A and B are shown apart, each in its own frame.
Chain A
Amino acid sequence: MTTIESSQETFEQGQVLLEAKNLKKYFPVTKGLLISKVTGHIKAVDDISFELRAGETLGIVGESGCGKSTTAKMMLMLEEPTEGSILFKGDDVHHGGAGVRKSYRSSVQAVFQDPWSSLNPRMRVKDIIAEPMVINWNITKAEQQSRVLKLLNDVGLNEYHSNLFPHEFSGGQRQRLAIARALALNPSVIVLDEPVSALDVSIRAQIMNLLKDLQAEYKVAYMLIAHDLATVRYMCTWVAVMYLGQVVELSPVQELYNNPSHPYTKALMSAALPSHPDTEQEEIILQGEVPSPLNPPPGCYFHPRCPDAMDRCSVERPEVKEIAEGHTLNCHLF
């Protein structure tokens, strides 16, 4: 696995590439000055499962604190899951051997939200983009540089940019550089953590279109973390809606937007801003705020804010049900 060509086995479009199984991430909360005692756990991610298929885009939407960023971090091996596993092409990543980890590292890359923090200000563009190759591939400097130039070209920048430093670029251009770096290893998955929300409106469309074009060219699967339902609709093939550390609804994108079923998903869609002043929207204003993940409510986590809550919702945790092909949700209404 040392050259550009052989770095990636071809995976058929639609085959399951990455699988999260019952992932949990609990952060201990400690108390006490000298002898600290664990007094509870913040259940940042509480038993979620999903699949990511080759060449497709899975969107993870939710409000702040719903666990979507922690999920992204676990997928990037920046956090160890408390329980559960991540399978990459069938191999367990966190419990597998060094070989599995290494191949995972070079196959899963990331683009983050803040283009001002994601590029080392002291490195030249060519070194930033080449870094993943320097670490993972055994190729010559000349090969690296010619690939850097190709990547720059692919993300819509010029060759002369390779000698500049990051501060010489605007936000949108910096996000292009971050994308070029993420593509350097020909990865099979890129985790996109809010890739456009820090950018100006007129630049967002450039970057989203670029990401779509590159997906087709590089045959890469995306896992898109976002809070904006419209962005998710434009970019994704599958959507998982998260609330308080759980996936409450998971569905192919068309199905979800035509037939949103979980009361939380419906509320989220009604709260989203309209695209036109005459857009008719069902007005569901959720009362209160998201409860603390330190002490989630019993039963269904959403029941204290749910407009359709029933008696059993406060006692019994709902099971996962499939209501249409690929469309699953956790709710007692179904």
Chain B
Amino acid sequence: MAADLSGIVIAPPTFGEKVAGIYRKLKRLPVIPVFLLSLVVIAGLFAPVLAPHDPEKGDLRERNIPPAWSSGESEPKTVVERMSINDRATSVTLSDAKKVNPDAQIGDQIDIYTRPAGSTKFLLGTDHLGRDVLSRVIYGARISLLVSIVTLAVGGSIGVTMGLMAGWYGGAMDEFLMRLVDIKLAIPLILIALVLVITLGQSLWIIVTVLCLFIWPRFARQVRGEVLQLKHMDYVSLAKVSGASTARILFIHIFPGTINTLIVVATLQVGIVILLESTLSFLGAGVPPPTPAWGSMVSDGRDKLAGGVWWISTFPGLAIMITVMSLNLFGDWLRDTLDPRLRQLE
């Protein structure tokens, strides 16, 4: 049982109190996630300036170079004239040995690099085609950003419109739209995406379409829920009494009331979009190569992991994880801050 404290806060907050209120909210701002997210956004926006190399071109002679801090690995091997299959792991031919040490003789033990040392030229190393991993991760942020923005704008608008209509008109309209949501939930969209790519070829637009199909129901449901509450507010009835048109009521009285929820949903959905885009790219149904996308980079490095070439997959994988986790933490904070029910508890 809560004490009845109504009537205690009668005076409107002064300017000072408002500033204090904003400060109190910002104090709980999740600093690390926000910092990491800004890094991702900056990377996406200024990729051409920030990236040290061209992300799509590489020199095959410089392939599979490990990150800068890696010292490389060498093994002693016996120099032989001709190599038999069985000796492969322990011996090296004379011609190869001469590349390392011109004085090499048959029968010598010589240290051969099985993997080159990292160099500061490629901070995070290079991939199997000699492309700079760092530059590709930076450009990957750009693709993720682009896909998220387009998907949110298109899928979000569809969802919001559907939700507004379903919530406002109710009845058959509501049934129809909500069954569409159920249908979406029952369709394996990843499978559809793969089929589309096989039949139409890989393109950015297919994956954006699929992602839109994926996220709109979430928006539709949330908005519908809000509208169902808001449409019973007295100010909506009063607007009708004053002769306001349905469009006016929806856009002036109802939609603004859903914005807080929308911001939260959008933040959390971006994480899902990035994850999905990566999944699709990983499966080869995403952004067409050679454009660097985090998902396809993870996929590229997948079969090299066994050979100890871990950096091609790991860095884009980390980028995905950090971005999605930061988005979720930030989204949680936004929800707690914008939810008036939680605001009371401060």
Residues of A within 8 A of B (CB): 76-78, 102, 105-106, 108-110, 112-114, 117-123, 128, 131-132, 135-136, 164, 168-170, 178, 181, 185
Contacts and interface: CB of A to CB of B under 8 A. Distances in A.
Contacts of A164: 12
A78 B234 contact: no
Nearest to A112: B234
A78 B239 CA distance: 11
B344 to A, nearest CB: 13
Nearest to B259: A122
B241 A170 contact: no
Contacts of B245: 135
Given A122-B256, A164-B12, A132 B243 contact: yes
Contacts of A121: 257
Given A119-B235, A135-B248, A164-B12, A77 B242 contact: no
A5 B245 CA distance: 25
Interface of A is mostly: loop
Contacts of A113: 234
A197 B234 CA distance: 15
Contacts of B256: 122
B169 to A, nearest CB: 16
Interface in B226-247: 233-235, 237-245
Nearest to A169: B12
Interface of B: 10, 12-13, 233-235, 237-245, 248, 252-253, 256-257
B84 to A, nearest CB: 78
Nearest to B255: A122
Nearest to A75: B241
A110 B248 contact: no
Contacts, number: 62
B218 to A, nearest CB: 23
Nearest to A104: B243
A185 B239 CA distance: 13
A105 B242 contact: yes
A168 B234 CA distance: 18
27 contacts: A76-B240, A77-B241, A78-B237, A78-B241, A102-B243, A105-B241, A105-B242, A106-B242, A106-B243, A108-B241, A114-B234, A117-B233, A117-B234, A117-B235, A118-B233, A118-B234, A120-B235, A121-B257, A131-B242, A132-B242, A135-B242, A135-B243, A136-B242, A169-B12, A170-B10, A181-B238, A185-B242
A136 B244 CA distance: 9
Contact of A76 (B241, B244, B252): B241
B241 A110 contact: yes
Given A164-B12, A168-B12, A112 B237 contact: yes
Contact of A135 (B233, B235, B237, B244): B244
Q: Rank and list the top 6 A-B pairs by shortest CB-CB distance, nearest first.
A: A105-B243, A118-B234, A168-B12, A132-B242, A117-B234, A112-B234
A78 B240 contact: yes
Contacts of B252: 120, 123
B335 to A, nearest CB: 19
A204 to B, nearest CB: 15
A128 B253 CA distance: 11
A160 B90 CA distance: 90
Nearest to A106: B243
A37 B301 CA distance: 62
A122 B257 contact: yes
Contacts of A108: 241
A77 B241 CA distance: 7
A119 B239 CA distance: 10
Nearest to B12: A168
A108 to B, nearest CB: 7
A28 B27 CA distance: 54
A231 to B, nearest CB: 20
A110 B243 contact: no
A225 to B, nearest CB: 13
Contacts of B10: 170
Contacts of B241: 76-78, 105, 108-110
Nearest to A191: B241
A73 to B, nearest CB: 8
A181 B238 CA distance: 10
A121 B238 CA distance: 14
A110 B236 CA distance: 12
A58 B43 CA distance: 69
Contacts of A128: 235
B16 to A, nearest CB: 15
Given A110-B238, A117-B234, A122-B256, 15 more contacts: A76-B241, A78-B240, A105-B242, A109-B242, A110-B241, A112-B234, A118-B238, A123-B252, A131-B244, A135-B242, A135-B243, A135-B244, A135-B248, A168-B13, A185-B242
A189 to B, nearest CB: 11
A113 B238 CA distance: 12
A180 B245 CA distance: 21
Nearest to B233: A117
Contacts of B243: 102, 105-106, 132, 135-136
Contacts of B235: 117-120, 128
Given A106-B243, A122-B257, A112 B12 contact: no
A122 B10 CA distance: 19
Given A102-B243, A185-B242, A120 B237 contact: no
A25 B12 CA distance: 43
B244 A120 contact: no
Contacts of A109: 241-242
A106 B241 CA distance: 8
A132 B252 CA distance: 13
Contacts of A114: 234
Contacts of A122: 256-257
A77 B245 CA distance: 14
Nearest to B230: A120
A136 B243 CA distance: 7
A181 B234 CA distance: 13
Contacts of B257: 121-122
A120 B10 CA distance: 19
